[in-house]
Structure 1
């Protein structure tokens, strides 16, 4: 059971500045603004950048597995992949082993884009004003928060 701070009246709980979800959303939107500028030279949107990060890390993947890494359903992921394919960065092909599965792989151009993207994380770190240890600690806490919320959603379903 969650306890409430003694100095925070229950009526204040509905104030916008008391909502962690709003703080996280505002931070996400602020990140989006910085990423928009940094990714412009790469010709990527932030969601496309996330797709490329997964493919640079894991290589060829089925769409379903790619969606699992990104926490996206195929309806959201398919248009992203189509745009990346049109840009010549990825190829989508039916799996030879299972025709129901579509596999995504980087093109040579997609592989080469990785080199140009290497500076993005450093510039994001600089934009935060945090040092690397603070970023790692924040990420760990956010991962814990995500896990707790996932568990709570399963329990309430």
Structure 2
């Protein structure tokens, strides 16, 4: 076959499991990208990226954590969390230090500037959810939480 149809995929039926829109992973990927783009301008006013914001949320919930605990809470690996913590430290928001009880572990503690940033960040959820139906958002959060739990259990079983 030659011409424009030479590289066209075979005709796909509505139940074709290889259609992009049939992929659950693509829906998560697209949603994640859109969330990042929507948050970016709001978070830039705080001097944070979306991953940094998530890390700060965890630290605002519970300060003075190990890098491992923080990584686990965010479902990140050490290769991702370490540079993220270094950037937050360079921004003056956290302090990294060796755990005196176990020198192999690194602990993350908020600085005063990191604690102070929480007040400014309080506006972020309201901005992001403005105009959305609260019950629908709560239901979606519940469903996504269940999905995260399911995926984490699948990963742990491997």
The TM-score with structure 1 as length reference comes to 0.86
The residue number in structure 1 matching 2:5 is none
* Displacement over 6 Å in runs of 4+: none
Alpha-carbon distance in structure 1 between the residues aligned to 2:93 and 2:99: 19
Deviation at 1:20, TM superposition (A): 2.0
The residue number in structure 2 matching 1:95 is 99
* One of 29, 38, 48 as aligned partner of 1:25: 29
Alpha-carbon distance in structure 2 between the residues aligned to 1:147 and 1:120: 25
What is the number of equivalent residue pairs in this alignment? 147
Name structure 2 gaps, 5 residues minimum.
1-12
The residue number in structure 2 matching 1:135 is 137
Deviations 1:110-150 (A, max 9, x none): 00000111110111112xx5322211111111111122223
Alpha-carbon distance in structure 1 between the residues aligned to 2:115 and 2:156: 38
**Per the alignment, do residues 30 and 13 of structure 1 end up closer, same or farther by CA in structure 2, a change over 3 Å counting?**
same
Deviation at 1:154, TM superposition (A): 4.0
Deviations 1:32-80 (A, max 9, x none): 1111111011111101111100000111101111111111111110100
Deviation at 1:152, TM superposition (A): 3.1
**Per the alignment, do residues 56 and 154 of structure 1 end up closer, same or farther by CA in structure 2, a change over 3 Å counting?**
closer
Deviations 1:67-120 (A, max 9, x none): 111111111101000010011000001111111111100000000000111110
Alpha-carbon distance in structure 2 between the residues aligned to 1:106 and 1:154: 30
Alpha-carbon distance in structure 2 between the residues aligned to 1:63 and 1:151: 22
Greater Cα radius of gyration, structure 1 or 2: 2
The TM-score with structure 2 as length reference comes to 0.86
Cα RMSD between the aligned structures?
A: 1.8
Match of 2:102, SS? coil
Alpha-carbon distance in structure 2 between the residues aligned to 1:138 and 1:47: 21
Name structure 1 gaps, 5 residues minimum.
1-8
Match of 1:59, SS? coil
Deviation at 1:10, TM superposition (A): 7.2
The residue number in structure 2 matching 1:52 is 56
